Amino acid sequence: MRTSMKRVFLFLLTNLAVMLVLGVVLSIVMSVFGLSNRSLGGMLMIATVFGFGGSFISLFMSKWMAKKSTGAHVITQPRNETEHWLVTTVAAQAQKAGIKMPEVAIYDSPEMNAFATGPSKNNSLVAVSTGLLHSMSQDQAEAVLAHEVSHIANGDMVTLTLIQGVVNTFVIFAAKVLAGIVDNFINSNNDEQESGNSWTYFLFDMLFQVIFGILASVIVAYYSRQREFAADSGAAKLVGADKMRSALERLKQNHPSQLEGSMMAFGIASGKGMAELFSSHPPLDARIDALRK
């Protein structure tokens, strides 16, 4: 319970800080270029700053956020045989994949899961849960680590951030344009009402952002699912397809994932019961079949 409250508090505090920073940046940019909030150029600037800015700030903070939200312990000096094996295994896989050695961490959770995060291929983190280490064989755990290293080597974190930035920008811009059209239509006979400053504008702006945001999440989730297949394939090249299939078979007995945000997107397993269109991970059976092929 305390961990969940900590995650919520950290999430809210971080997002508030991001919004304040982006608000200041936006004010400066709008002032420099002399843009109005209600002009097309102004709306595009707002959409770009908040769409890409939020995504890239989240990317640069991803390692710090992951450590804080999960309470992960980064292994600097291995304290036991398990930690020594983890560091040695990730180092060998990273060298084979052609990336700089990621930070390796363990976080306390009964679920079988792991995730990769970080702003670049050469500044990354691979974390595994205690539940995974206790419940999987060494070969299966090795395959999971290879899956996460493959995410890093493929540059999935950066590419997903770019895609998220593009869809966020489109969502914000399209919502503001359509809200302005609806507002002008509703208040066309009200000469005293300045266009774009009525309650109807703000209402429809929020409404369209929610609707377009849901549709855009389908696009991001589709990309994420494709990258899961690629990471599985990369893991098969690093440690062998049999080990990767075995790890996925073991994950079929897993509980729903408690990872959030980008950590869920680059974890090994996702929650159950979500509609497939909105899921960041393909069904495990589909991933196993892909490896067989």
Cβ partners under 8 Å of residue 277, min gap 6: 218, 221, 222
* Catalytic site positions: 148
DSSP 8-state symbol, 267: B
* 264 neighbors 278 (Cβ within 8 angstroms): no
Q: How many Cβ atoms sit within 10 Å of the Cβ of residue 129?
A: 26
If you count them, how many residues does the chain have? 293
Alpha-carbon distance of 94 to 113, in angstroms, equals 19
Three-state DSSP at 137 gives coil
Residue 35: both structure tokens together: 């843009």
Alpha-carbon distance of 239 to 145, in angstroms, equals 10
Alpha-carbon distance of 173 to 17, in angstroms, equals 22
Query: What are the percentages of helix, strand and coil residues in the chain, rounded to 5?
Result: 70, 10, 25
Phi and psi dihedrals of 137, rounded to 5? Answer: -75, 170
Q: Which residue has the tokens 């940046």?
A: 25
Alpha-carbon distance of 104 to 5, in angstroms, equals 25
